Amino acid sequence: MRHRDLGSYPAGIWWLFVRQQNLAVQVLSKARRMQIRLPDGMDGEALVRFCYDQWVARTEGNGLLVLDDLPDYAERQFGAEHPDVATSLNNLAGLYESQGRYSEAEPLSLRALAIFCTQLGAKHPHTQTVFGNLKEFLRQTIAANRTAELSDHSLTQNLLQQLQTEG
């Protein structure tokens, strides 16, 4: 899923940092700020689920939950070349792209594509989706006149040249 327009989340964004501190602590802190009354007798996992369900209900599905640093977490769980890592990288790249953080989005997209190509093959639908996302990202970068922020990676430069020629 790519989140190009963060403005489409009128209830706001709930940004959690996977590496920086315990997720349960962050969720419970958010619940306190939202003045959610926590029931007694629930274990940590049940409290997190309860808080999340309350947040979804209160935002009526108009909020975005972002788990930052998720690619690092997935890499520790599954290994650096696992397709789930590529999915996390692709999603984070889409978020960075939507924020105009092009120089941070590009290497994530390239790494996601490389993992999918290696693990699933160039013709796999996931690989094709990530490749399409990369091309759309580069089109957006061209339109924003910010290609100078991108790396000299050969795939990036070849696609930029191709897309600029297509006009």
- For helices 102-120 and 125-143, the axis angle rounded to 10 degrees is 160
47: helix, strand or coil: helix
What integer is the mean pLDDT of 137-147? Answer: 95
The percent of residues above 70 in pLDDT, for the chain, comes to 74
* CATH H-level superfamily of 70-166: Tetratricopeptide repeat domain (1.25.40.10)
Length of the chain, in residues: 167
Residue-averaged pLDDT of the chain: 80
Does 76 score more than 80 pLDDT?
Answer: no
Over residues 83-126, the pLDDT tens digits come to 888 887 888 888 788 878 899 999 999 999 999 999 999 999 99
Say what the pLDDT of residue 72 is: 63
Over residues 6-39, the pLDDT tens digits come to 444 455 566 666 555 566 677 777 777 778 888 8
Q: What are the distances in angstroms from CA 132 to CA 19, 136, 150?
A: 30, 6, 17
Residues of the chain with CATH 1.25.40.10: 70-166
E strand or H helix at 14: strand 13-17
Report pTM: 0.61
Sign of dihedral through CA atoms 105, 109, 112, 114? Answer: negative
Confidence class for position 2, pLDDT limits 50, 70, 90? very low
Q: How far is CA 59 from the centre of its chain?
A: 20
